[in-house]
Amino acid sequence: MDQNTTTPKRKRKEKSILMPSLIALLLFLFVSFSYYAYQIVYTPNVDTKDRDTFVTIPTGATYEQAMDSIEASGAIIDKLSLRFMSKLMDYDELVKPGRYKLEHGWGNRQVIGVLRVGQQTPVNLTFTNIRLRNQLAAKLATEIEATEEELDSLLNDDAYLATLGFDTTTIVSMFIPNTYQVYWTTTAPELMARMKTEYDKFWTAERKAKAEQLGLTPNQVSTLASIVQAETIKNDEKPRVAGVYLNRLQKGMRLEADPTVVFAVRDFTIRRVLNVHLQHDSPYNTYRYAGLPPGPINVPNISSIDAVLNPEQHKYIYFCAKEDFSGYHSFAVTHSEHIANARRYQQALTARNIMK
């Protein structure tokens, strides 16, 4: 008998030995795979190190560009597992643009889940200390995907602005300084429409009635408010300054507001308005032209607008900065009183060697 021939009995014995080993191996592999799968899905894979971390994915970005943006955030612990999970969840077919906040402790499933449905984190849009349209476009472009060029194009398009009830000289008054939540993917036309909606909400029936009592349109109120804002940073003084200019308008006097001259000259470094500046020919130069200028000289905030709508009732016609440089002003009813106040301020400027 051939000794190399395996008997059926021996085969059954070998099979009975191999089966438990194979089952044990398969069980080990199953447990190992399950544990790894659990880690891929649920184990925290985002470390923001106590800082807000955002991922921005531009419109039209490919899967690889999106993954590069996510990894560039520096918050992903295991990049390989994230990519594995993204493929399992078909993220390569579902890339959506937007700005997304990564939360500390998120697992891969949470990260990809938010990205694939486009669950953006809103942007808190704010704008202050804006004078010119191009400055406004530049500021807005830092907050949303729309470019400065796209925004600037709309802000300079008279035909388009007319559909909103504005023109290039008044459009900045449509932007009421506040904090607005918008999505990063908001387009330039969408943002303009949103700001028009917010403007209409701001100009309530009560505010419109107050403007009408003053003989002003909302745009004119914003124009005067921009002058008041340029004159004083003190909110408690704004109604008094507004009262001065309204008194001048009612008397048919020129406003003679220094900030309008600075705006006309376009030299915002001027600290001391001189005769040479007063001669500059511009409709914004309220020393040469009576009434309000064509439009706002900055984007007036709510406190400035409400100061014009609720002015202090007084007889002051003049004011100038106090010589103590406190930011407040000295007010006068007569020209002689004003000259005395102005002389003290001019002397203080000279003492500090402020010549322009």
149 neighbors 142 (Cβ within 8 angstroms): no
Look at the chain and count its residues.
356
| DSSP calls for 194-250 | HHHHHHHHHS-HHHHHHHHHTT--HHHHHHHHHHHHHH---TTTHHHHHHHHHHHHH
Q: What is the pLDDT of residue 17?
A: 56
Q: What is the pLDDT of residue 46?
A: 94
Q: What domains are defined for the chain?
A: 53-116 (3.30.1490.480), 123-202 (no CATH), 205-351 (no CATH)
Single-letter amino acid, residue 43: T
Contacts of 176 (CB under 8 A, 6+ apart): 195, 198, 199, 202, 302, 305
What does the pLDDT look like over 70-92, one tens digit per residue? 999 999 999 999 999 999 999 99
Q: What is the pLDDT along the chain (356 residues), one digit of tens a residue?
A: 455 555 666 655 555 555 665 555 554 444 444 445 556 666 899 999 889 999 999 999 999 999 999 999 999 999 999 999 999 999 999 999 999 999 999 999 999 999 999 999 999 999 989 999 999 999 999 999 999 999 999 999 999 999 999 999 999 999 999 999 999 999 999 999 999 999 999 999 999 999 999 999 999 999 999 999 999 999 999 999 999 999 999 999 999 999 999 999 999 998 888 899 999 999 999 999 999 999 999 999 999 999 999 999 999 999 999 999 999 999 999 999 999 999 999 899 888 887 65
Contacts of 244 (CB under 8 A, 6+ apart): 314, 316, 317, 318, 319, 331
Please tell me the distance from the alpha carbon of residue 292 to that of residue 304, in angstroms, as a whole number.
Answer: 16
Whether the pTM exceeds 0.75: the reply is: yes
3-state DSSP call for residue 62? Answer: coil
Please tell me the distance from the alpha carbon of residue 92 to that of residue 116, in angstroms, as a whole number.
Answer: 9
The radius of gyration of the chain's CA atoms, rounded to the nearest angstrom, is 34
Class of residue 186 by CB neighbours under 10 A (exposed 0-12, middle 13-18, buried 19+): buried
Please tell me the distance from the alpha carbon of residue 79 to that of residue 71, in angstroms, as a whole number.
Answer: 7
Strand partners, 44: 107
Q: What is the pLDDT of residue 273?
A: 87
Q: What is the pLDDT of residue 33?
A: 46
Q: At what angle do helices 205-213 and 302-309 cross, to 10 degrees?
A: 50
Q: What is the pLDDT of residue 50?
A: 82
Q: Which DSSP helix (H) or strand (E) runs through 101? A: strand 98-102
Q: How far is CA 356 from CA 196, 207, 323, in A?
A: 39, 39, 16
